[in-house]
């Protein structure tokens, strides 16, 4: 995947910053030290991340999303039902984040703060969009937005659940994906089989609607 000059600078900055994030958080001070370590001038910093730390957090999660896409491309999930494909996308994304679990925790904390909430909402929507795209969703009507909105709503509790547990490094993503249809509990030691599920209900107009729900394990 070809990167633009700004993306090259942004990821260089991000790579310099990540080792300090678990200890110092996603702060302006941490970013300033990382920029110096990466040898970025003020002009390059402005090009790489005009909004500062929020842009670097976006880059962190965007890279995980791209890694998830690549992991899913190596799997044949076309035969799975829609809920299983969505779950496979979430699992692949979590696996991409696993090496930087503490950075995810720090980003989650920042997202709970008033000045970090807006960026966190937009970020969560992009994650949901990626998962649904990889699940093969091509809807262009209101269903496109309702699906992504429902998934975006449950991503934060999924992250909280994931952060409270330690991933089993002995089980590859391919095992988790292949196990999805069996609905076994705790695939790859991460999501319980009922964490992402669908239920159907009849609306007042008759047609069946699908909605994404989360149930406690």
**pLDDT band (50, 70, 90) for residue 1:** low
* Closest among 200, 124, 197 to 156, alpha carbons compared: 124
Residue 166 is predicted with a pLDDT of: 66
List residues bridging with 202 in a β-sheet.
208
List, for residues 39-68, the tens digit of each pLDDT value.
Answer: 999 999 999 999 999 999 999 999 999 999
Residue 115 is predicted with a pLDDT of: 81
Q: Which domain holds residue 35?
A: 1-50
Say whether both 141 and 43 belong to one domain: no
- pLDDT (mean) for 148-155: 95
Say whether both 84 and 178 belong to one domain: yes
DSSP helix, strand, coil percent of the chain (3-state; round to 5): 65, 5, 30
Helix or strand run (H / E) with residue 212: strand 208-213
Q: Is 158 domain-assigned?
A: yes
Token couple for 181: 């249809």
Residue 202 is predicted with a pLDDT of: 37
Say whether both 43 and 147 belong to one domain: no
Say whether both 44 and 92 belong to one domain: no
Say whether both 93 and 185 belong to one domain: yes
Q: Is 152 domain-assigned?
A: yes
User: Given the structure tokens 């000045």, which residue do they identify?
Assistant: 115
Of residues 168 and 93, which shows the higher confidence score?
A: 93
Q: What is the C-alpha to C-alpha distance for residues 123 and 14, in angstroms, rounded to an integer?
A: 17
Q: Is 8 domain-assigned?
A: yes
- pLDDT (mean) for 142-147: 94
User: In Å, how far from its chain's centre is CA 203?
Assistant: 31
User: Given the structure tokens 């809920």, which residue do they identify?
Assistant: 83
Say whether both 82 and 154 belong to one domain: yes
Say whether both 77 and 43 belong to one domain: no
**pLDDT band (50, 70, 90) for residue 197:** very low
Q: Is 55 domain-assigned?
A: no
Say whether both 105 and 36 belong to one domain: no
Domain count, the chain: 2
Q: Is 196 domain-assigned?
A: yes
Residue 200 is predicted with a pLDDT of: 38
Say whether both 45 and 72 belong to one domain: no
Say whether both 44 and 68 belong to one domain: no
Residue 181 is predicted with a pLDDT of: 34
- b (16+ CB within 10 A) / e for 66-76: eebbebbeebe
List, for residues 89-123, the tens digit of each pLDDT value.
Answer: 999 999 999 999 999 999 999 998 888 899 999 99
Say whether both 44 and 140 belong to one domain: no
Say whether both 75 and 107 belong to one domain: yes
């Amino acid at each position: 995947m070809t990167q633009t000059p700004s993306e090259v600078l942004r990821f260089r900055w991000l790579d310099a910053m990540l080792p300090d994030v678990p200890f110092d958080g996603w702060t302006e001070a941490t970013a300033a030290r990382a920029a110096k370590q990466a040898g970025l001038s003020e002009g390059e910093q402005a090009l790489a991340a005009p909004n500062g730390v929020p842009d670097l957090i976006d880059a962190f999660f965007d890279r995980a999303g791209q890694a998830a896409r690549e992991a899913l491309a190596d799997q044949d999930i076309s035969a799975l039902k829609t809920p299983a494909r969505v779950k496979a996308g979430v699992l692949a994304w979590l696996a991409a984040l696993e090496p930087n679990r503490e950075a995810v925790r720090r980003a989650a904390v920042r997202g709970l703060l008033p000045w970090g909430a807006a960026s966190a909402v937009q970020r969560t929507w992009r994650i949901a969009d990626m998962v649904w795209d990889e699940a093969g969703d091509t809807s262009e009507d209101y269903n496109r937005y309702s699906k992504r909105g429902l998934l975006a709503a449950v991503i934060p509790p999924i992250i909280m659940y994931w952060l409270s547990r330690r991933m089993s490094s002995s089980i590859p993503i391919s095992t988790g994906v292949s196990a999805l249809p069996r609905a076994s509990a705790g695939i790859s030691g991460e999501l319980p089989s009922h964490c992402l599920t669908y239920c159907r209900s009849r609306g007042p107009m008759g047609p069946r609607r699908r909605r994404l729900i989360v149930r406690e394990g």
